[in-house]
Structure 1
């Protein structure tokens, strides 16, 4: 027997309403699989150092196990004299291979690694568009060099600074998603709180805050972002703070409407009569109903945040110079029309990422729609 006699039955971890929502989300096959594909890509990008790096993941040298991906070992450890070890150099790689072994990531470049062994001036095409003789011309032994096949592979070519495009795409995808998630969650926290205060208290509080939001949202956001970004030094958190100034407004309307509708319901009046505080009523009883409408906006706000970051990077007002950025890759594609792999890489990365988010948003919207019932 699953339940002990005399013990109360265990409550299901999902209420019937949430179970129906989950079934509706699963029934939208396009959104359901888009969610898992996006989560798989995002989780892989979190381990970008194990996918694209100019350092081995693990190495053995003279019987000692080393982890270059985590620790910066000086070149003196391998018989050199530099403070930073270049594991892709022939001297270091031959020394380690002579006294041990190395396990490399699939892509032997980081987002900042400059490939000094390209056959001609950057940008260079992907390795599968180059002949083997051309790809291995920079190696001492040419085609016979064992490092030729793996050490100089640029899967998606190089940019105009001879940096690997595939590595910059992976790291740029991670920064874009992390930035979008941070901006969306922070905007939701501020916007939901502001909308809850407006809708619950009403009166002069609602009137004054609503007039402020109308004035604030009527400002030319893009121009203000460009001006502030050009005055302050570029950085992840500075850019996040600048965009947070205006992005929280999009959450206020739906939360305010839900609180205005539900603040005079019977259970709210009963809670007030029992002496329950306003904060408890707002965030324990009313907020769950308001979050239904808010959650449907999250994937769309996330995609908009990523697009805004890409636009600022394209204009040169986003992340610091040298940072992996999809917008910077688009700007390089504009400057180098003779290198179509730059524009195609940025286009397909942005298209796939935003399409997956939009499909997930549609599935979430259907899941929280009480009129939707999928079989």
Structure 2
């Protein structure tokens, strides 16, 4: 088990007793791990194939058609009848994932026009471009969760640093910081993203950078209040009397006690990031066209 302090251990045990929160955490972790291994679940390339008594792993490595006796020096299309015949003619075989489609793989063998309803081949049906919906849900969820986790980490780092400086030093530092926050928080984030998307083609990192400029604002007031309270406590005064520097007092004495209130806000930043990204994708101002996203799927299902 992790080498936790007695206080942290008690808090962890208290959290475990909250069955709804504890199992929700494991459900989220399970779904996140499932999406991280999306290529092993939904892919138009085999997990493993045997050709002339040699094993190949197309999921992890790129192979050309020539390596299987074909004519083209390009990546093999394992779903084509020609490539499958080349591989299987000498007793070879291929093992595909449970969903033999990637997020951008169209199904050319549909019996009705796209979007098509669920079937034994496409478990949740296809979208308007004949792409498998379940595969796009898996990859879209991965993008959303990774985006939200990255944004939460960046927001926590900036928000904690800004709130700690304001609360610990107070005075003109706090006054100047509050005025900057008032101006910064008054900017319409969603409208700003929509306006900027008219000049720059949005992508994962561009959206992450823009949203990181604003998402940390919610944490500052919480951290600032904890530091304003904590800087006047006796153990902080004792640390100052012993000659400890401001950095050590902030990191070792005030910040650990301020993290309880801070951590309670992080899930809201995470869910807000997923909702904002989905809203931008829904409106057509989010990820590049063709990218798997939850908002784009919602837009098609409306």
Band of TM-score, shorter chain: over 0.9
Which residue of the partner structure matches residue 32 of structure 1? Answer: 22
Q: Which is higher, the Rg of structure 1 or of structure 2?
A: 1
- 1:110 to partner: Cα distance: 0.2
Aligned residues: 299
Q: CA deviation at 1:14?
A: 3.5
1:74 match: 64
Q: Distance in 1 between matches of 2:69 and 2:207?
A: 43
- How much is the aligned-residue C-alpha RMSD, in angstroms? 1.3
Secondary structure, aligned partner of 2:264: helix
Q: Which residue of 2 aligns with 1:140?
A: none
Residue of 106, 121, 126 corresponding to 1:114: 106
Is the 2:107–2:132 Cα contact (8 Å) retained in structure 1? yes
Within 5 Å, give how 1:287-298 maps onto structure 2: 287-298=255-266
Greater CA drift, 300-309 or 28-37:
28-37
User: Does 2:212 match 1:244?
Assistant: yes
* Distance in structure 2 (CA, Å) of the matches to 1:263 and 1:61: 69
Q: Please name the residue that 1:141 is paired with.
A: none
Residue 244 (structure 1) shift: 0.6
SS in 2 for 1:59: strand
**Is the contact made by 1:54 and 1:109 (CA closer than 8 Å) also made in structure 2?**
yes
The aligned counterpart of 2:200 is 232
Give SS of 1:260's match. Answer: helix
SS in 1 for 2:55: strand
Q: 1:16 to 1:274 in 2, by over 3 A?
A: closer
1:190 match: 158
Q: Distance in 2 between matches of 1:28 and 1:275?
A: 41
Deviation at 1:60, TM superposition (A): 1.1
> Which of structures 1 and 2 has the larger relative contact order (alpha carbons within 8 angstroms, sep 6+)?
1
SS of equivalent residue, structure 1 residue 247? coil
- Choose the corresponding residue for 1:86, options 60, 73, 77: 77
Q: Alpha-carbon deviations, 1:13-48, whole Å to 9, x = none?
A: 333332332222122111111111111111111100
Aligned partner of 1:124 among 113, 116, 136 = 116
Contact 1:229 1:239 in 2 (8 A): no
Is there any run of 5+ residues in structure 1 with no aligned partner, and where? 1-11, 129-152, 335-375
Q: TM-score, normalised by structure 2?
A: 0.96
Residues 102 and 136 in structure 2, CA contact (< 8 A), matched pair in contact too = yes
Q: Return the offset for 1:220.
A: 1.6
Report the Cα offset of residue 52 of structure 1.
0.2
Do the aligned residues in 1 keep the contact of 2:70 with 2:86 (CA within 8 Å)? no
1:95 counterpart (86, 100, 109): 86
Cα offsets for 1:115-172 (capped at 9, x unmatched): 11111221111115xxxxxxxxxxxxxxxxxxxxxxxx11111000000001000001
For residue 52 of structure 1, what is the aligned residue in structure 2?
Answer: 42
Which runs of structure 2 are paired with 1:235-314 in the superposition (5 Å)? Answer: 235-314=203-282
**Secondary structure, aligned partner of 2:202:** coil
1:75/1:314 Cα in 2 relative to 1: closer, same or farther (>3 Å)? same
C-alpha contact 2:167 2:174 (8 A) present in aligned 1: yes
Q: TM-score, normalised by structure 1?
A: 0.77
Instruction: Provide structure 2 residue ranges, at least 5 long, that are not aligned to the other structure.
Output: none
Secondary structure, counterpart of 1:264 in structure 2: coil
- Cα distance in 1 for residues equivalent to 2:89 and 2:25: 46
Alpha-carbon deviation of 1:273?
2.3
1:228 and 1:242 in contact (8 A); partners too: no
SS of corresponding position for 1:166? helix
Q: CA deviation at 1:56?
A: 0.4
Question: 1:80 offset after TM fit, Å?
Answer: 2.3
